[in-house]
Amino acid sequence: MCVFCYMGSKSFLEKVAEIITDLKKYNPNLIYVKIHFYSKNNYVYVPQELLPLYRDVIVPLADIVTPNQFEAEKLSGISINNQDDALKAIECLHTKGVKVVVISSSDIGKEGNMLTLASTAKNGVRECYKIEFPMLDGRFVGTGDLFAACLLGWIHKSNSIKDAFEKTLSTMQSVIKRTLEHAQKLAGPGNKPTPAQMELRLVQSKSDIENPKDTFKAQLNRKTLSQSAQNQAATSLRNQLSGLENRHSSSGLLLDITRGGKRVRGCTYAQVTCAFILILVIMVTSAMMRYLERESGFKAISTHSVVLMHNSLNTSRGNMTHLSNFP
Ligand SMILES: Nc1ncnc2c1ncn2[C@@H]1O[C@H](COP(=O)(O)OP(=O)(O)O)[C@@H](O)[C@H]1O
């Protein structure tokens, strides 16, 4: 597993892309997590010109991404004002090849609430859950990191996005409540806690990280399902088509026969056309013979067999027939 977060320079980012690509070659099971990278509370951490690199190179390499609302907007180019927009942004990130997309926070829930969405794309099927909870009054630093770390840990342990999502949210809220209570105590009544006083109470929350309470239940986003069912059909069709196109362009093959993901046999347009013409010739010849037999009283016989070799179509056999005179 490999987690990356803030990278502020182009050359660093390009190197990361290179390393991830190499690592995935050696270990296709490697899970690469792209966590938030860009901004928080509309504050942009990284130079704007890095956005295209994040969007077009880094994100497509990721298995899991956990952008907040603002980052999801930047990565997808979709402005998120309601759940439909959020789903479109999620779909856009799935289309880039990301298997798990989690929007870690958004303001599209009810007034005063935060809404998070977690979506998976497996074999073209989308499963999207949401959890809504009250937004606490305070600015926390490191919540995106903690969110991504917990999510990744639980995905690894339970392999269920719903379970991982619920446990992550439970830990987050326990940590944040503990942090806020402590910060307010330090600041004193009526005072606003300083950023230092708001430091996440991680060590004190050890048991909430290891054993999250069963406080949050993720809801399956039904609206999403019907919408994604359409997307799914479109996407899988697109995938099939692009797969076919790729095969054409890469090998010039019309038909691929694969075993265990490996092409074991294939044939080109020319080969398929030849096969059709031969079948047609044999059918026409045989129909002609039957006709001549009927009309002339002669007997048509097959005198020898000719083996038609077809390199990659395997070997097919056809009878060449000719007419003989029989008294
Ligand atoms: N003000 C808040 N009130 C309640 N929960 C919060 C608040 N800020 C952050 N969180 C928790 O932290 C998680 C990640 O927060 P987020 O703001 O998305 O992180 P970041 O912007 O750093 O990526 C949220 O899912 C939520 O559980």
Q: Name the catalytic one among 22, 63, 84, 145.
A: 145
Q: What is the pLDDT of residue 270?
A: 61
Low-confidence stretches of the chain (pLDDT < 50) are 226, 228-230, 232-264, 302-327
- Residue 77 sits in the same domain as residue 133: yes
Q: Tell me which of 174, 207, 225 is where a domain ends.
A: 225
Q: Tell me which of 173, 193, 225 is where a domain ends.
A: 225
Q: What is the pLDDT of residue 211?
A: 97
At which residue do the structure tokens 């080969």 appear? 271
Separation CA 140–CA 58 (nearest Å): 26
Separation CA 158–CA 135 (nearest Å): 27
Contact between residue 178 and residue 201 where contact means Cβ atoms under 8 Å apart: yes
- Residue 92 sits in the same domain as residue 208: yes
Q: Which residue range forms the structural domain that includes residue 295?
A: 267-323
Q: What is the pLDDT of residue 312?
A: 30
H or E element that contains 311: none
Q: What is the pLDDT of residue 271?
A: 66
Three-class secondary structure of residue 30 per DSSP: coil
Query: What's the order of all strands across the beta sheet hosting 32-35?
Result: 2-4, 32-35, 64-66, 100-103, 113-122, 125-134, 219-220
Separation CA 265–CA 311 (nearest Å): 10
- Residue 173 sits in the same domain as residue 40: yes
- Residue 186 sits in the same domain as residue 285: no
Catalytic-residue membership of 145: yes
Q: What is the pLDDT of residue 143?
A: 94
Burial class (CB in 10 A: 0-12, 13-18, 19+), 89: buried
Contact between residue 98 and residue 60 where contact means Cβ atoms under 8 Å apart: yes
Q: What is the pLDDT of residue 98?
A: 93
Phi/psi of residue 295, nearest 5 degrees: -75, -35
Separation CA 278–CA 103 (nearest Å): 58
Distance 160 CA to ligand 1 centre (A): 22
Q: What is the pLDDT of residue 326?
A: 34
Quick one: which atom of ligand 1 is closest to the CA of 41?
Answer: 21
Residues with CB under 6 A from ligand 1: 36, 40, 68, 104-105, 114, 116, 135-136, 138, 140, 143-144, 147, 169, 172-173, 176
Q: Helices (H) and strands (E) in the chain — how many of each?
A: 10, 13
Q: Which pair of tokens denotes residue 11? A: 């050359």
Separation CA 119–CA 130 (nearest Å): 9
This prediction has a pTM of 0.71
DSSP class of 194: P
In sequence order, what E strands does 247-296 have?
Answer: 253-259, 262-268
Separation CA 232–CA 249 (nearest Å): 25
Rg of the Cα atoms in the chain = 31
Number of structural domains in the chain: 2
Q: What is the pLDDT of residue 279?
A: 82
- Residue closest via CA to ligand 1's atom 23 equals 144
Separation CA 131–CA 163 (nearest Å): 12
Residue 173 CA from chain centroid, whole number: 28
Distance 49 CA to ligand 1 centre (A): 26
- Residue closest via CA to ligand 1's atom 6 equals 135
Q: Name the residue of 107, 108, 143 to mutate for ligand 1: max ligand atoms within 8 A of Cβ.
A: 143
- Residue 278 sits in the same domain as residue 195: no
160-202 residue pLDDT tens: 999 999 999 999 999 999 999 999 999 999 999 999 999 999 9
Q: Which of 132, 127, 114 is nearest to 162 (CA)?
A: 127
Distance 249 CA to ligand 1 centre (A): 46
The interface predicted TM-score (ipTM) is: 0.95
- Residue 271 sits in the same domain as residue 214: no
- Residue 319 sits in the same domain as residue 199: no
Separation CA 183–CA 281 (nearest Å): 88
In a domain, 247, yes or no: no
Q: What is the pLDDT of residue 116?
A: 98
Characterize the bridge pairing of strands 300-309 and 2-4: unpaired
In a domain, 192, yes or no: yes
Distance 144 CA to ligand 1 centre (A): 6
